[in-house]
A = this chain, B = another copy of it.
Amino acid sequence: MSFTNARPSVSPTFSTQPKLGTNPIAFGAPTDEEMPFLFDAATSITQRGKIEVLNREEKPATRGWVIDPEGNPLTDPLSILNGLSQDQAALLPLGGDTEALGSHKGYGLSTIVEILSSALQSGAFLSALSGLNPDGTKARLRVGHFFMAISIESFLPLEEFKKNIGDILRELRASKKAPGQTRIYTAGEKEFQNALAVRKSGVPINENLLKDISHVKNLLEISELDLEY
């Protein structure tokens, strides 16, 4: 299990101020299958990286991901990216902005990650992770981490544990599908298959990202960088 805090971008329930980081929870476990169970997710609905990708693709963000200081939804990726660094936009915790759909749960999970990533080592938290000094100059970002491993063989033989998890995952994947759905995944499955695919056929690069990379290539006068498209 691995947790980390991060620079402020997520608002607490009933707030519009970015206070918490995207504060991911990661949990991995071996199985009796080729791929492990691997969950790695921000405790916010989405995170900055996804907005950056949408910005490059010139696509809008989903309504419900981000709010402005008045609590109104923001969907333009560039406004969101600029807003996040100026306290003018906040990502919403998993569950959104109302208790009715569980905002307080995403917010609470994020707070747990903040506690585990800072309180045990008296490290930096919340606004102290803004990356700015009080005078506005750039400061070193002092994020914290919490790692935990369970010694499986203190409980049962490793092979039995792996089979137990495999059985759980296989039963989940065999659940009745919702109309229109063709497949039920377990955590890490999509990413595992995507990794196999890109190893075989390369990493797809968006046109705008290619421009950025070419620009950097020219700036640095790198000639040996080989970009195919």
Contacts and interface: CB of A to CB of B under 8 A. Distances in A.
Contacts of A69: 176
A9 interface: no
A152 B96 CA distance: 32
A183 B14 CA distance: 7
Copies of this chain = 2
Interface stretch (A51-59, A109-117, A207-215): A109-117
Contacts of A114: 168
Interface residues of A, number: 75
Given A176-B15, A184-B14, A39 B109 contact: yes
A53 to B, nearest CB: 14
A180 B67 CA distance: 15
A161 B62 contact: no
A73 to B, nearest CB: 12
A46 B11 CA distance: 22
Contacts of A15: 175-178, 181, 184
A229 interface: no
Interface stretch (A74-82, A122-130, A131-139): A122-130
Nearest to A180: B71
Interface in A21-63: 25, 27, 29, 37, 39, 41-43, 45-46, 62
5 shortest A-B CB distances, which residue pairs? A15-B175, A119-B164, A17-B176, A14-B181, A108-B187
